[in-house]
A and B are shown apart, each in its own frame.
Chain A
Amino acid sequence: MPTSRSIESDRETLAFSRGSRVDQSLPDATPVIDLSGLRFAWDPGAAPILVIESLRIDAGERVFLQGASGSGKSTLLALLAGVVVAQGGQVRVLGTDLADLSPAARDRFRADHTGMIFQMFNLVPYLSVLENVLLPCDFSPRRRARAEARGGSPRAEALRLLASLGLDGPQLLARQPAQLSVGQQQRVAAARALVGAPELVIADEPTSALDADRRDAFLDLLFRECARESTTLLLVSHDAALAPRFDRRIAFADINATAVRSTAA
Chain B
Amino acid sequence: MIAVLALRSLRHRRATAALTVLSIALSVFLLLAIERLREEAREGFAATVSGTDLIVGARTSGVHLLLATVFHVGEAGSGLRWSSYRALAGHPSVAWTVPLTLGDSHRGFRVVGTTEGFFEHYRYGRAVALAISSGRIFAGPREAVLGAETARRLGYAPGSNLVLAHGSGDDGFMPHADRPFRVSGILAPTGTPVDRTVLVSLEDIDALHAPERIAQSDDPLAAALMAAEPTAEASRTITAFLVGLRTRTSALSMQRAVNTFPDEPLTAILPAATLQEVWALVGVAEQALRAVSIMAVVVGLAGMLVALLTGIAERRREMAILRSVGARPSQVFALVAGEAAALTLTGVIVGAVVLHVALPLARPWLASRIGLVVGGVWPSVLEWQLMALVFVAGSLVGILPAWRLYRHSVADGLSVRT
Contacts and interface: CB of A to CB of B under 8 A. Distances in A.
Interface stretch (A78-86, A154-162, A210-218, A222-230): A78-86
A108 B324 contact: no
B1 A139 contact: yes
B318 A124 contact: yes
Interface stretch (A54-62, A114-122, A163-171): A114-122
Specify which of A74, A112, A136, A139 lies most central, judged by the most chain B CB atoms within 10 Å of its CB: A139
Contacts of A84: 413
Nearest to B10: A126
A140 B8 CA distance: 20
B321 A122 contact: yes
A126 B325 contact: no
Contact of B326 (A75, A103, A124, A140): A140
A121 B313 CA distance: 14
A97 interface: no
A136 B1 CA distance: 11
A126 B414 contact: no
Nearest to B13: A126
A228 B111 CA distance: 100
A131 B317 CA distance: 17
Nearest to B413: A78
A49 interface: no
Interface in B166-196: none
A77 interface: yes
A83 B414 contact: yes
Nearest to A75: B413
A116 B330 CA distance: 20
Contacts of A112: 326
A165 B75 CA distance: 93
Contacts of A100: none
B317 A121 contact: yes
**Majority secondary structure, A binding face:** helix
Contact of B325 (A77, A78, A121, A139): A139
Contacts, number: 70
Interface in B1-23: 1, 5, 8-9, 11-13
B414 A78 contact: yes
Contacts of A192: 325
Given A121-B321, A124-B321, A126-B11, A139 B413 contact: no
Contact of B318 (A75, A125, A139, A204): A125
A111 to B, nearest CB: 2
Nearest to B316: A121
B323 interface: yes
A123 interface: yes
A118 B414 contact: yes
B321 A77 contact: no
A107 B415 contact: no
Interface size of B as a range: 20 to 34
A259 B212 CA distance: 114
A75 B414 CA distance: 8
Nearest to B317: A121
Interface in A79-112: 81, 83-84, 103-104, 107-108, 110-112
A138 B330 CA distance: 16
Contacts of A108: 326
A78 B415 CA distance: 8
Contact of A127 (B8, B317, B413, B416): B8
A103 B325 contact: no
A135 interface: yes
Nearest to A120: B317
A103 B414 CA distance: 15
Contact of A118 (B5, B12, B329, B415): B415
Given A74-B414, A78-B415, A126 B9 contact: yes
B73 interface: no
B123 interface: no
Given A83-B414, A139-B1, A107 B328 contact: yes
A135 B325 contact: yes
B413 A111 contact: no
A236 to B, nearest CB: 11
Given A74-B415, A121-B317, A138-B1, A116 B324 contact: yes
A81 B11 CA distance: 31
Nearest to B2: A138
Interface in B309-355: 317-318, 320-330
A83 B413 contact: yes
A83 B321 contact: no
B328 A126 contact: no
Contact of A81 (B1, B8, B327, B414): B414
B324 to A, nearest CB: 4
Contacts of A77: 414
A121 B316 CA distance: 11
Contacts of B322: 124, 135
Nearest to A79: B413
A116 B327 CA distance: 13
Given A107-B328, A116-B414, A83 B12 contact: no
Contacts of A131: 8
Nearest to B327: A139
A84 B320 CA distance: 13
A23 to B, nearest CB: 17
Contact of A126 (B12, B326, B416): B12
30 contacts: A74-B414, A77-B414, A78-B414, A83-B324, A83-B413, A83-B414, A103-B329, A104-B330, A107-B326, A108-B326, A110-B326, A111-B325, A111-B326, A116-B324, A118-B324, A118-B414, A121-B321, A122-B321, A123-B321, A124-B318, A124-B322, A125-B318, A126-B13, A127-B8, A131-B8, A136-B326, A138-B1, A138-B325, A139-B1, A139-B326
Given A104-B328, A112-B326, A204-B414, 17 more contacts: A74-B415, A78-B415, A81-B414, A83-B323, A84-B413, A103-B329, A104-B330, A116-B324, A116-B325, A118-B414, A122-B321, A124-B5, A124-B318, A124-B321, A124-B322, A126-B9, A138-B1
Q: Which 7 A-B pairs have the closest CB atoms?
A: A111-B326, A126-B12, A139-B326, A78-B413, A116-B324, A107-B328, A135-B325
